[in-house]
Structure 1
């Protein structure tokens, strides 16, 4: 199973949708809640090459984007392949 890391913040509907998709696939992920942590937010922005919206998701160390991006990967049939790696 792939290593999945997701940067989130509280009260974020997009974060909830992304986590729900991962949960529905039985994926274990590491969640970094950056709501009250400017350091975590800066870490996320740096790893996501400037993207500052929440969530930002990484699979096996590769940035795959946010909520819309992960759902698009799922619709295209590519998410399961990434998660199986």
Structure 2
């Protein structure tokens, strides 16, 4: 990225792990309700947020509208999004 982007926690405080300094275009694989895979190229922004691998943004969740099982930490897709994000 051209310049670093500050990151703020949910409480409004600056993230102690640092700023967003890099981005990468990676393949993300998801399975739908029928057990079929959907592959999507996603542009991910990199920073240190602790132990999390990926945090999906509300824009991505709104576009894909998955069913979320909070107990199992599981996302299910009944249909593929018509227009997936492309890097």
Q: If each structure's helix is expressed as a fraction of its own residues, which one has the higher value?
A: 1
TM-score range (shorter-chain normalised) is under 0.3
Normalised by the length of structure 2, the TM-score is 0.27
Normalised by the length of structure 1, the TM-score is 0.28
Using CA pairs under 8 Å that are at least 6 residues apart, name the structure with larger relative contact order, 1 or 2.
Answer: 1
Q: If each structure's strand is expressed as a fraction of its own residues, which one has the higher value?
A: 2
Q: Which has the larger radius of gyration?
A: 2
